[in-house]
Structures are given as C-alpha cells and as structure tokens.
Amino acid sequence: MAMTRRHTLVFLALGIVLGAAGLFGHRIVNRHAFVARCIPALPPLGDRPAALAESLAGAEARARSWLPATKGLAELSRLYHANGFYPEALACYEGLRRLEPANARWPHLQASIITNFGRLDEALPLREQAVALAPDYIPARLRLGDILLKGNRPADAAKAYTEVLRRAPGDPYALLGLARCDLTANDWPKARERLQEAMAQNPDNIGVLSLLVTVSEHQGDPATADSLRSVIGRREFSDLPDPWVDELSEVCFDAYRLSVAAAIANAAGNRTAALDLLDRAIALSPNASSYHRQAGQLLLDDHNYGAARNHLEKAVALNPTDSDAWLRLLDALRGLGQTQAVVSTLLTGLSHCPQSPSLHLEYARWLKSANRFDEAIAEFRYGYQLRPSEASPLVELATTYLTVGRTDEAVAALNLALERQPDHPTALATLAFIAISQNNEAEARRRWEQIRRQPKTPAAVTSSLQQAYQQQFGRSLP
C-alpha cells in the first residue's frame, strides 16, 4: 500500500517515540533490577527505636519501586551510615557510585567510612574521584591532602592543600596541613609562618594554636607558647566541617551517636546545633541521665542557669549516683544565687555518692566557708585519699591549716601537693609567702625562681609576693 509523505513522517515520529519509550523503559527496568540487587538485607536492629525500622522500611520500599529507586537507595545509604550500619551503607554507596558515576557525594561518603576504619589505601582512589567530580567541595580536597600526608607523601599532600588555598584562601585546615608538610621537611620557620597566617584569620582553631605552641617552643619562644596555652585553655581540637557527612546526623536514631555529634558540634563552636542534637538524644533515650547532664553542661556554659538546672535535676533524678551531674547542679544553683539550695543539694548528692572526691571537696569548701575548720580539714583529707593523684585538695587543705595557724602541717601538705604537681602555682606561691613570713629569705627566693618559670601564676599573686618580700627584707625580688 502506497503511503503519503505525511504518513511517512508520522511513522518515523512514532518510531522515534517508541524507541525513546523503549529506552526509558529499559533504563527503568535495568535500574530497578540493579537497585534491587544493591539493597542489603536488613541487619538485626536489636533495641533500636521503632522509628529507625520504619524509616529503613520506607526507604527500602522506595528503593524497590520503579521510579524513585535510586533516591530510595540514597535514603537507605544515609540511614545505614548515620546509624552505624557501615557494611550496609558501603554496599549502598557502591551501588550508588555505579548508578550515578558523576555524583561526588557517593565516593566521598564511602571514603569517609573506610577511612574511619584506617583503611587509607582503599580510600585514596575514592578521595581522588570525589575531588575530580566536585573540585570545589573543599572538605574532599582537605581529606585527600590528609590521606596523602598520612601516607607519607608530604609533597603530594602539599599540592592538595595548596589547591584548597587557591579556592578558599586562608582555610585553617589547609594551612595546618601545609605546616605539617613543612615540619616533615624540618622547615620550622615556614611552618610557623603558615600557622601564624592561619591564626590571624581563624583565632579559634585549636589545632592551629596547639601546633603553634609546639613550633614556638621549638624555636625558643616560650613567651608566645605560654600565651597561646592560656588561650587554648581546656578547649579541644575539632575536626573540619564536612557538610555531606555532618548532615547525616539528621537521620540518626542512635542517642549515643547524637550525643557524640553534639559534643563535636559544641567543640566546633555551634552550641545551638549541639543542644538540638541533645534534645533528639533525650527524646530517643529519655531515661538516660548522661544526655541531660551533657545538655546541662552546655547550658551552664551559656550561663543559662535555669534551663541547666532543669536538665541537671532530671539527670540526678534518673541516676542519683551520677556525681558529675550533682556537681553541675551545684554550679547551676550557684548561678541562680540559691545558696540554701546549694547546701541541701550538696548533702543529698553526697548521700548518694559517698565516694565522690569532687563532692567531698565541695563539702570541705563549704565547711571552710562556714568557719567549721576542723571538719573542713577532715573533708579535705578524705577527698585527697579518694583521689590521691590530685594536688588541688592538698593545696586547699594547706590553706585551711594556715587559716587555723597550723603552719607546719600546711607546709607538709603543700610539699605533698608539689610531689603530685611540681609546678602547682598556688602551692608554690603559698610556700613563698610562708617563707617570707618566717623570714627565710633563701627559701623565698628559691620559690620565687620556681614561680617565675610558672606562667600560670596570676599577676596579682606575683605582685603581692613582691610587695611582701619588699616589706619583709627591704629589697626587691629579682
């Protein structure tokens, strides 16, 4: 049958449409079958929350459906990764890498699990792939630099860090990495220069400050080292932010993991995020005292004493033997100015935690403040027996002895404290004052030499010592 040109075009168009439909259908069938084979068997969930099981079931159902299969597999990977089911997450990522070979997220997340277990050789090609696919995602480049540095390839690591700096000038983690590369080449001045640059732009990066202390000491600059030490205080290093990994906590149903994530967020300076994570931990595990204690501590750091008190009262109600929670609760009550409540809470805490050195120390301090010196001395001694490695209870014991004129016992306690902590600033200063008051100039000068080497001695204390020495001996301390 002859066909017109119009018919021809219709048939041609139809053929193309059918071909495209065939292609689309084949892709879906193919993809569906592949995704189905990538879905790991559901691991035993034990006592994990029902919400996790429901989320996993939902994600798996989507992964097994026709159209959103890849999306479902991605959801499943997030859930497994965030909740610590790493073999299952790795299987998902392996599949996702094949389904979406241009998506940098999958090799990056896969590498993040593998590197957590120390298998850096396996992770290196994944890191390289992630960088190639997402050249502007800075955490991927930094992680690549870190792997190369740890793999004893500082020159290659330096290239990775330098590339980060080209894209993100002043990045503290890149500068820290480069400084470490410099140190492997024994180039201390260059390392110092990099760290100073990093500090100038990121004065709160503890990793940078900490290494700068080391470099300053090495280069014979103890003044800078001591000054930096005081800035660092008790703050801890925090790992570099990595949004692709960090956002996994959104689907975490494990209270302990959330509490660790909260601590990391807090160390990175994000207290709001930390408190949100702890709220979720508490919702998942409402009978665990430790998450309330942790939240209470964060709120105390924020001087939000009322909210801190609420959490801490819950913590001690849930676990009356949690001596740390009792201590924090005392801090919250002091912050609220509730003096009477402090005493009654302290006594209640001690009744539940009779072996807590810190609570005994608190009680001893209260007894001392109430001029009940003999009882305070007994408490300080008991606190020291409970934790004999610490110097501070001995120093407080000594100052109590001095208050009641028992100088010899004070000196003995201070010397014992110095055995525990040879540079204890208060112990040294107190011994110097005693020497001055006893007209023992040689001993006073000996202690003064020690005090001068101890940067933690408060300026007011050194000033008082100098005045006392001047008054007693009629000349200045050197």
Partner 1 sequence: MLAWLRLAETASPPLKFIPSRRSFSLLGLVLGAALLAGCGPAGTPAPKVSAPPAVVIDTDRYTKESIGEPFEGKPWISHVNIVDLDRDGRADILACDDKLNGIVWLRQTAPGKFAESTLMAGLSSPVHVEAVDLDGDKDLDLLVSCMGEVFPNNDKIGSIIILENDGRQNFTKHIIADHITRVTDLRAGDFDGDGRLDLAVAQFGYDQGEINWLRNLGNWQFESHNLLNLSGAINVCVADLNGDRTLDIVAVVSQQWEEIHLFENNGMGQFSDKILFGSTNEDFGSSGISLCDLNRDGRPDILYTNGDGFAYADPGKRPWHGVQWLENVGGGAFRYHRIGDLPGAYAPVGVDLDGRGVMDIVCTSGFNDWKNPDAVALVAFKNDGKMNFTMHVLARAPIQLITCAAGLLDGSGKPSIVTAGFYSYPPFDRMDRITLWRPKAAR
Instruction: Pick out residues in 128-147 that bind partner 1 (CB under 8 A).
Output: 143, 146-147
Residue with smaller CB distance to partner 1, 391 or 434: 391
Instruction: Tell me how many residues contact partner 1 (CB under 8 A).
Output: 87
In angstroms, how far apart are the furthest CA atoms of the chain?
129
262 binds partner 1 (CB under 8 A): yes
Alpha-carbon Rg for the chain, nearest whole angstrom, is 32
Among 79, 82, 115, 161, binds partner 1 (CB under 8 A): 115
Residue 12 neighbours by CB distance under 10 Å: 10
260 binds partner 1 (CB under 8 A): yes
The CB-of-366 to partner 1 minimum distance in angstroms stands at: 23
User: Does residue 264 bind partner 1 (CB under 8 A)?
Assistant: yes
Burial of 256: CB neighbours in 10 Å, binned 0-12, 13-18, 19+:
middle
Assess 3 for contact with partner 1 (CB under 8 A). yes
DSSP state of 353: -
**Is position 84 an interface residue for partner 1 (rule: CB under 8 A)?**
yes
- Please, which of residues 454-473 interact with partner 1 by CB under 8 A? 456
Q: How far is the CB of 270 from partner 1 (least distance, A)?
A: 14
Segment 206-245, which members bind partner 1 (CB under 8 A)? Answer: 206-207, 210, 213-215, 217-218, 225, 229, 232, 234, 236-237, 239
Site string for partner 1, 312-351 (x = CB under 8 A): ---------xx-----------------------------
Q: Which stretch binds partner 1 (CB under 8 A): 26-34, 133-141, 165-173, 433-441?
A: 26-34
- From the list 110-118, 333-341, 396-404, 468-476, the region that binds partner 1 by CB under 8 A is 110-118
Nearest CA-CA partner of 321 in 277, 299, 351, 281 = 351
Contact 458, 425 (CB under 8 A): yes
Which string of b and e fits 18-35 if b means at least 16 CB within 10 Å? Answer: eeeeeeeeeeeeebbeeb
Indicate the residue among 178 and 436 with the shorter CB distance to partner 1. Answer: 178
Separation of alpha carbons 6 and 20, rounded Å: 21
DSSP letters for 98-114: HH-TT-THHHHHHHHHH
CA distances from 271 to 230, 266, 278, 388 (A): 22, 5, 10, 35
